[in-house]
């Protein structure tokens, strides 16, 4: 029987994270007519009869550059941009309301960048306007926060608005690692803001941890895991560092490639974290995520009600999601639309009364069927094979690509369904890749993805 480290070395290959299917590199980038986009979005929303949507708001500003980060951001210390940008996002939301009619926000997430770059006063005014008549009792509200810029005023005002969930970017507590990734924050600082979040009414706190960062050692990593367990956040996101400097340019060149843990070293870090989190009672949820059994994410997983969208794993399932702000992506299920990544172009478009969409993708029936399969695997570790994918050649290709995973007891193949074994959970991305028709004949002209583990 192959050991976990042997399996990790075998299946640790470049692969998508599947925040969408098709993945962004395979979007056809069709010209995205605003009329056609709104028609697709309106049909999806109206078909649900609830007028409920998920809303993601991209707040991309950071005061300093974290050199491990692969997100789209704007580094500046100029806080004069706060009000113009928030006013622009507010106008974008009103444009959607004018085109779609009144909507009910079922879920709202503030991501970055650094959402707590913005003052608590500006965020409160902005969010009060965005939420409008949506009932905070039935709306799931969450925010990503930098521990160093999250004030008591942020926590108080956000909780008063109805925010119960907050995610802190921890990454690693080792000062040597923190210096290399330009993310200096002590355990006492994290402990203080974590405990204050609890005091001010946040009931679900997430800590992001990243393995594979420069200068990480086993002793330092165990210390990071132990400190995290001491604070016992309800959720832990355990991410593999995605080293993609060929995509992100100089942003991920604050250190040398030789400073990164090598393949086996990185995989041992992952295995150590997996074992320690599981031993401490955390439940594996989907991919890369762990939560306490009492957290609603673990409960949703157990009940088969877990959902996944561009915001990550969620208990909320809506027919459509709207992304606001520069580079944000919206999803009507049958199509995707992405805003411009340029701040100047974004504000110029909004000020002209135009949605700032620059590209998108219209899904075929086959793509929608594959998307459903991948979502099922990501959220429930199993899936039925839909009729749309019963083509003999397609299924033959899938079976061939799953053959090794089946042989290694990571996947079970049934006549019309596939399930991932408990042993196969760390390899969920590899399983999804077998169904990804874009990868069947794909050869890497240049790297597109980070490794799966």
DSSP letters along 173-210, please?
A: --HHHHHHHT----HHHHHHHHHHHHHTT--EEEEEEE
The burial class, CB within 10 Å (0-12 / 13-18 / 19+), for 63 is middle
My answer on whether 52 and 193 are in the same domain is yes
Which residues, 6+ apart, have CB-to-CB distance to 291 below 8 Å?
Answer: 234, 235, 236, 282, 283, 285, 297, 298
My answer on whether 116 and 137 are in the same domain is yes
My answer on whether 180 and 286 are in the same domain is yes
Integer Cα distance of 434 and 281 in angstroms:
31
Residue ranges making up the domain that contains 279 = 26-321
316, pLDDT greater than 90 = no
My answer on whether 275 and 387 are in the same domain is no
pTM of the shown model: 0.92
CATH code for position 426: 1.10.10.920
Closest CA relative to residue 235, chosen from 286, 175, 184: 286
pLDDT band for 136, please (50, 70, 90 cuts): low
Kindly state the helix (H) or strand (E) to which residue 309 belongs, with its residue range. Answer: strand 307-309
My answer on whether 109 and 206 are in the same domain is yes
* Rounded average pLDDT over 289-311: 91
Let me know: does 168 contact 198? Beta carbons within 8 Å: no
In a domain, 119, yes or no: yes
Q: Who wins on pLDDT, 172 or 415?
A: 172
Integer Cα distance of 26 and 44 in angstroms:
23
In a domain, 352, yes or no: no
pLDDT band for 67, please (50, 70, 90 cuts): confident
In a domain, 42, yes or no: yes
Most confident of 15-19, 44-48, 351-355, 359-363: 351-355
My answer on whether 34 and 3 are in the same domain is no
Integer Cα distance of 56 and 38 in angstroms:
17
* Beta bridge partner(s), residue 205: 166
- Confidence (pLDDT) at 187: 97
Alpha carbon 438 to chain centroid, angstroms: 21
Phi first, then psi, for residue 70 (nearest 5°) are: -110, 10
CATH code for position 298: 3.80.30.20
- Residue 187 corresponds to which tokens in the numbers above? 């355990």
In a domain, 12, yes or no: yes
* Rounded average pLDDT over 162-185: 95
In a domain, 329, yes or no: no
Closest CA relative to residue 452, chosen from 259, 288, 229: 288
- Confidence (pLDDT) at 254: 61
- Confidence (pLDDT) at 196: 98
pLDDT band for 107, please (50, 70, 90 cuts): very high
How many Cα neighbours within 13 Å face the side chain of 413?
A: 16
My answer on whether 60 and 142 are in the same domain is yes
Integer Cα distance of 410 and 431 in angstroms:
9
In a domain, 198, yes or no: yes
1, pLDDT greater than 60 = no
- Confidence (pLDDT) at 447: 58
Q: Who wins on pLDDT, 65 or 367?
A: 367
pLDDT band for 28, please (50, 70, 90 cuts): confident
Number of domains composing the chain: 2
249, pLDDT greater than 70 = no
Task: Print burial letters for 128-139: b (CB count within 10 Å at least 16), e (below 16).
Answer: eebbeebeeeeb
172, pLDDT greater than 90 = yes
In a domain, 150, yes or no: yes
Let me know: does 148 contact 114? Beta carbons within 8 Å: no
253, pLDDT greater than 60 = no
- For 168, 185, 188, 209, 243, the CA distances from 181, given in Å and listed in that order, are 16, 11, 19, 13, 12
- Confidence (pLDDT) at 425: 87
**Tens-digit pLDDT profile for residues 282-297:** 999 988 999 999 999 9
* Rounded average pLDDT over 247-276: 77
My answer on whether 16 and 34 are in the same domain is no
Question: Helix, strand or coil for residue 98?
Answer: helix
**Tens-digit pLDDT profile for residues 199-238:** 999 999 999 999 999 999 999 999 999 999 999 999 999 9
In a domain, 357, yes or no: no
pLDDT band for 245, please (50, 70, 90 cuts): low
- Confidence (pLDDT) at 368: 95
pLDDT band for 444, please (50, 70, 90 cuts): low
């Amino acid at each position: 029987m192959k050991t976990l480290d042997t399996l990790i070395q075998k299946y640790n290959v470049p692969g998508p994270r599947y925040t969408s299917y098709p993945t962004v590199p395979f979007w056809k980038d069709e010209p995205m007519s605003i009329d056609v986009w709104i028609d697709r979005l309106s049909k999806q929303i109206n078909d649900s009869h609830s007028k409920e949507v998920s809303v993601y708001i991209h707040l991309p500003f950071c005061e300093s550059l974290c050199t491990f980060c692969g997100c789209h951001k704007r580094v500046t210390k100029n806080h004069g941009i706060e009000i113009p940008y928030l006013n622009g996002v507010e106008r974008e939301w009103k444009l959607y309301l004018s085109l779609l009619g009144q909507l009910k926000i079922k879920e709202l997430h503030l991501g970055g960048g650094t959402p707590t770059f913005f003052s608590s006063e500006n965020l409160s005014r902005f969010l009060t306007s965005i939420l409008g008549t949506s009932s905070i009792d039935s709306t799931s509200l969450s925010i990503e926060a930098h521990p160093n810029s999250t004030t008591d005023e942020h926590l108080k005002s956000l909780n008063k608005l109805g925010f119960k969930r907050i995610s802190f970017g921890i990454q690693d507590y080792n000062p040597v690692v923190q210096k290399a990734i330009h993310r200096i924050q002590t355990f006492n600082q994290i402990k203080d803001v974590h405990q204050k979040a609890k005091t001010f009414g946040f009931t679900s706190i997430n800590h992001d941890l990243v393995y594979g960062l420069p200068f990480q050692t086993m002793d330092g990593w165990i210390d990071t895991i132990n400190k995290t367990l001491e604070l016992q956040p309800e959720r832990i996101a355990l991410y593999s560092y995605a080293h993609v400097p060929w995509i992100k340019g100089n942003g991920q060149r604050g250190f040398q490639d030789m400073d990164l843990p090598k393949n086996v070293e990185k995989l041992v870090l992952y295995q150590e974290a997996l074992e320690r989190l599981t031993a401490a009672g955390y439940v594996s949820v989907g991919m890369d995520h762990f939560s306490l059994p009492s957290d609603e994410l673990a409960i949703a997983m157990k009940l088969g009600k877990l959902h996944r969208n561009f915001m990550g794993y969620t208990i909320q399932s809506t027919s459509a999601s709207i992304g606001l702000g520069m580079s944000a992506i919206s999803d009507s299920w049958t199509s995707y639309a992405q805003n411009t990544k340029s701040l100047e172009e974004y504000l110029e478009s909004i000020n002209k009364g135009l949605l700032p969409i620059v590209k998108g993708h219209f899904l075929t029936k086959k793509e929608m069927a594959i998307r459903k399969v991948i979502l099922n695997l990501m959220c429930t570790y199993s899936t039925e094979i839909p009729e749309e994918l019963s083509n003999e050649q397609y299924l033959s290709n899938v079976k061939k690509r799953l053959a090794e995973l089946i042989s290694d007891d990571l996947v079970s193949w049934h006549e019309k369904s596939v399930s991932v074994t408990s042993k196969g959970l760390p390899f969920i991305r590899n399983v999804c890749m077998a169904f990804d028709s874009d990868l069947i004949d794909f050869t890497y002209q240049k790297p597109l993805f980070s490794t799966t583990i």
